[in-house]
Structure 1
Amino acid sequence: MLGGIFLHNTVSSSISENIRIFREYFPKNLTADIVFDEFSIGGKKACFCFVNGSSNTEVMVKIQMTLLSLTKDEVSHDKDMQDFMARHIPLNDKKLERDFTKLSTALLWAMSILFIDGFDSAVILDTKRYPSRSIEEPEKNKTMRGPRDGFCENVFFNTALIRRRIKSTSLAFESFDIGYETKTRVILAYMSDKCDKTLLEKIRKKLGNMNIASLTLSQQTLTDNLFNTSITKILNPFPKVRYVERPDTAASMLVEGKIGILCDTTPSAIFLPVNLYDMIEETDDYYFPPLTASYLRILRVAMLFVSVFLSPLWLLALEYPEALPRSLEFLLVDSKAFIPVWLQLIIVEVMMDALKIASLNTPNTISNSLSVVSGLLLSDFAITAGWLVPQTILYSAISSIANFIPTNYELSYAFKFWRMALIAFSAIFGLKGFFMGVALFIIILILNKTEDNRSYLYPFVPKDKRGILKLFIRTEKGKEQ
């Protein structure tokens, strides 16, 4: 009867009957991780039910030792389970329950259930402790200066890291259980006095009405169901939400009035609304003096332009050599290759991603060596065999390095797709194709709206001189100023 419905839905005073009914829902041969620990309390039969590996052993042992030490005389004074629970169970987070369906749900949430013979209700004890890694700095979002903590897979550890930084009664965490099979805990985080109330209500309503089976691959599934609800949104390469793995960044975004969505089993949080500027901004901007931070900002923005335009502009230089001044003739290619240059650029772009995937799926001890050696060998052999010209490797490598500057993967790939589209347009239509590609993506960016229906290109559209200055120069004393 695993996953079925209880025929007898309420707890009786017979422990044998209660265990039998509970066992129907959790058969021994199908639920090897669920323990039914039977023992005696002052001459009365009792049973602890818990999920092996997901309970706090120290707390469980302390409770059980306390219960085992009770005498028959002590237990005889307890009129019901409420009386027994109040007098003898040394745990704050506990409650009575008679409904077997609610008891089974609590057990699946790694709570412990206590049945005692003669009492027609059970006690739910919050003794859960999921296996989790320690809090450490995220691999992707490292900073040269600043705290070294990061989100982990336990959603309440993550809310604690945020609460530690924002000691305000305005900070709110709302809880939702998403997925009728997985019942994954999702937390909606916001500052009640600063967030957009209309957007908050929209997200709250969608989370409350979300009817999906599971959130095992939680975050992207959640994002798709919340926001990617039309074909235009699915095909739009520019991200509308930002994934954050650092609690300091998350706290600062909440203070700015943004809304966060944290999902259990996922070491990052979703934040919105965000525009292009929010995607480019980095944590290190606020851990360095204004001059250094401004230099890093200008470098970051410049590298984004390099990542998009370097390869297409070089391709145009090869197609229109007569337009080049003498000082730029070094851009021209002397050697010949069997494959057209535009196709060489596309092939190298694809192979870069193939090497990235290969290194991710390779053990750490050899992944770096694989990336370097395979990249050098493949490029050398391709040039020797006449497939590629050396300049293709050079400009593709510079573009790829520039593409790694943003810590946001989605934004990096949006610019990568733009670069590949410009290469294709320039190869097919020449100079007109290049400008067509630039115009197309600018139109896409202008038409893009954030989740609160504002311009994605702010501060350029609408024009905000102070915002444009802020994009390049850090003039404020801190992020929240």
Structure 2
Amino acid sequence: MTTDVLDKPETQAKDEKQGGDPSKGSGTAKDRKETLSKEELKLKNTDEISGRLNKDKKVLEEKVGAETSFDVILREMVFGTKHCLFFYLNGFVKDDVMTEIMKRMSYLKREELVPNTLKHFIEEYIPHVQVETVDNMNDVVDKVLKGSSALFVEKETKAIIIDVKTYPVRSIDEPDLEKVVRGSRDGFVETLLTNVTLVRRRIRDPRLKLEAVQIGRRTKTDVCIGYINDIADLDLVEAVRDKLAKIDLDGIPLADKQLEEALIEKTWNPYPVVRYSERPDVVANHLLEGHVILFVDTSPSVIILPTTFFHLVQHAEEYRETPFIGTYVRWIRFLGIFASLFLLPIWFLFVIHPELKPPGLEFLGPQKEARVPIIVQFFLIEIGVDLVRLAAVHTPQPLATAMGLVAAILVGNIAVDAGLFVNEVILYMAAATIGMFATPSYELSMANRIVRLILLLAVAMFKVPGLLVSSTVIFLILAFQRSFNTPYMWPFIPFNAKAMWTILIRQPILSMKKRPSITKPKDNSRQPA
């Protein structure tokens, strides 16, 4: 037995003598590892500020990985014989402001800081507009991860939080999806504070409330609930608060869209039940109507609640023209939306049943046969249009125009010349696609595309009954759909004559004396009586 022990490595032989399992390594090392893990866990769960910089530094190293993450900075300095520790993230801090604060504090003497060191720092020697004290380590970490900087002072059980953050942000430009010929050119960006400020600039009302909450255990994404206190229905505001409070996710890194799904709990219905906008003027107008707004940090889009189908078919351009021109533009848009839904199914029905053609429209229908059935042509072109759209998104800007020409001219023209497609199919498909792009809401246009495919399939399978039944079913789905307990098809269902008139005809501003009743505003008067 002695020989066996001597033939093995010293540590392994020692383990076997002590009754340890050599396959599991040294029992002593294992005990040390377990003890260290418990110590690390204790530091990680510590929520108090000890006042001893060495201990607080170890706590921060365990909580945020100060020794692992290169952008986590722990800077030790001495001000007036007081040992201090700065804790901040390198990418969030304003270097010039932070340098100025450190420079000013480096001139201090001990008698200028004692007693009440924190009070002297805050009231006299930290030249910044937003400074506060925090007595909980977890709060310190949360605020620093948001971009603030923390200052720990030896023998002090509170930390000073200095809001010197700056976020990477692009310039304020006009949104691509909501352009207007005349009007403001500013649009939301990915920074929450900037977006809130753009709305504050338009509504200088002290009753405009902006409540901040955090969503996500890990991302802790800032979400802001916006409403005007004496206009919005406070029951709706409370319902939104409750919904947000019940969201329990790791995070919402994709911002507004993930928040919408968690908030609304949508099923497979393709129609949107919230409205998105990237224009501050549109959001301000909805706030004045009594809607509730949700800003999500890192997203340039704002969620508007509640939303109806008719909210999604209106555009800011209609209110940048005279009432007559605005009405004309609105009806042209309505016509485009109708065409995107029903033009292809109705034309296809006329092709299948020529006897249904109204007098004077006998020319409708293909003049020659193609090698591919018409219904297959529709689906192939739909897929082709989506491929072109996706290719345009992923193609570098200088090449996007060339790619579109190749797709439209070469592929489409050759397909017709080869006898695979009919000219009229491409013509009507192009008209329907234009109507889809004329739809103000991108989400609504994509939902209408899915519905169009369903209607085409129903016509191909069941002819006239298929079109009637499928259209009725889709209409009933929309009629029973609700957005935060609001009828989706209001003011058509339930019918409200005055509200429906304002949908059909763009009203002059002075004639719009009442707010829409759909939001249940506390104050429904827009103008003095």
Which stretch shows the higher mean deviation, 177-186 or 437-446?
437-446
* Residue 29 of structure 1, CA deviation: 4.5
Match of 2:402 in 1: 369
What is the aligned counterpart of 1:316 among 339, 346, 349? Answer: 349
Letter in 2 for 1:68: S
1: CA distance, partners of 2:370 / 2:461: 19
1: CA distance, partners of 2:214 / 2:495: 41
What is the SS of the residue equivalent to 2:387? helix
2: CA distance, partners of 1:270 / 1:287: 22
Match of 1:13 in 2: 51
CA 1:459 to 1:18, structure 2 compared with 1: closer, same or farther past 3 Å?
A: closer
What is the aligned counterpart of 1:381 among 397, 414, 428? Answer: 414
Match of 2:267 in 1: 234
Deviations, residues 228-261 of structure 1 (Å, cap 9, x unaligned) = 2xxxx42222211100110000000010001111
CA 1:374 to 1:7, structure 2 compared with 1: closer, same or farther past 3 Å?
A: closer
* Residue 98 of structure 1, CA deviation: 3.1
Match of 1:475 in 2: 507
2: CA distance, partners of 1:298 / 1:452: 29
* Residue 325 of structure 1, CA deviation: 5.7
Instruction: Check whether the contact 1:238–1:411 (CA below 8 A) recurs between aligned residues.
Output: yes
Match of 1:402 in 2: 435
2: CA distance, partners of 1:399 / 1:252: 31
Instruction: Check whether the contact 2:274–2:306 (CA below 8 A) recurs between aligned residues.
Output: yes
2: CA distance, partners of 1:322 / 1:429: 16
2: CA distance, partners of 1:97 / 1:411: 47
2: CA distance, partners of 1:358 / 1:183: 34
Q: Cα RMSD over matched residues?
A: 2.0
2: CA distance, partners of 1:320 / 1:447: 33
Letter in 1 for 2:261: D
CA 1:411 to 1:43, structure 2 compared with 1: closer, same or farther past 3 Å?
A: same
Task: State whether structure 2 residue 493 is matched by structure 1 residue 456.
Answer: no
Instruction: Check whether the contact 2:276–2:302 (CA below 8 A) recurs between aligned residues.
Output: yes
Instruction: Check whether the contact 1:3–1:25 (CA below 8 A) recurs between aligned residues.
Output: no
Which stretch shows the higher mean deviation, 42-51 or 342-351?
42-51
* Residue 397 of structure 1, CA deviation: 0.6
1: CA distance, partners of 2:374 / 2:104: 77
Match of 1:413 in 2: 446
CA 1:325 to 1:102, structure 2 compared with 1: closer, same or farther past 3 Å?
A: closer
What is the SS of the residue equivalent to 2:408? helix
Q: What is the TM-score of this pair, normalised by structure 1?
A: 0.93
1: CA distance, partners of 2:426 / 2:46: 71
**Which residues in structure 2 correspond to 1:144-163 (within 5 Å)?**
144-163=181-200
1: CA distance, partners of 2:134 / 2:63: 17
Letter in 1 for 2:494: P
Q: What is the TM-score of this pair, normalised by structure 2?
A: 0.85
Match of 1:24 in 2: 62
Deviations, residues 125-175 of structure 1 (Å, cap 9, x unaligned) = 111111111211111111111111111111111111111111112211111
Instruction: Check whether the contact 1:245–1:268 (CA below 8 A) recurs between aligned residues.
Output: yes
**Which residues in structure 2 correspond to 1:262-301 (within 5 Å)?**
262-301=295-334
Match of 1:33 in 2: 71
Give 5+ residue unaligned stretches, structure 1.
Answer: none
Which stretch shows the higher mean deviation, 435-444 or 114-123?
114-123
Instruction: Check whether the contact 1:172–1:191 (CA below 8 A) recurs between aligned residues.
Output: yes
* Residue 123 of structure 1, CA deviation: 1.1
Q: Based on CA coordinates, which of the two structures has the bigger radius of gyration?
A: 2
Instruction: Check whether the contact 1:199–1:452 (CA below 8 A) recurs between aligned residues.
Output: no
What is the SS of the residue equivalent to 1:146? coil
CA 1:4 to 1:308, structure 2 compared with 1: closer, same or farther past 3 Å?
A: farther
Match of 1:176 in 2: 213
**Which residues in structure 2 correspond to 1:63-78 (within 5 Å)?**
63-75=101-113, 77-78=114-115
What is the SS of the residue equivalent to 1:276? coil
Letter in 2 for 1:249: V
1: CA distance, partners of 2:365 / 2:214: 60
2: CA distance, partners of 1:324 / 1:417: 26
Where do 4+ consecutive residues of structure 1 move more than 6 Å? 1-4
* Residue 402 of structure 1, CA deviation: 0.7
Instruction: Check whether the contact 1:190–1:254 (CA below 8 A) recurs between aligned residues.
Output: yes
Instruction: Check whether the contact 2:60–2:66 (CA below 8 A) recurs between aligned residues.
Output: no
Match of 1:440 in 2: 473
* Residue 57 of structure 1, CA deviation: 1.9
What is the SS of the residue equivalent to 1:430? helix
Match of 1:54 in 2: 92
What is the SS of the residue equivalent to 1:337? coil
CA 1:403 to 1:119, structure 2 compared with 1: closer, same or farther past 3 Å?
A: same
* Residue 429 of structure 1, CA deviation: 0.9
| Percent of aligned pairs sharing the same letter | 30
1: CA distance, partners of 2:51 / 2:443: 57
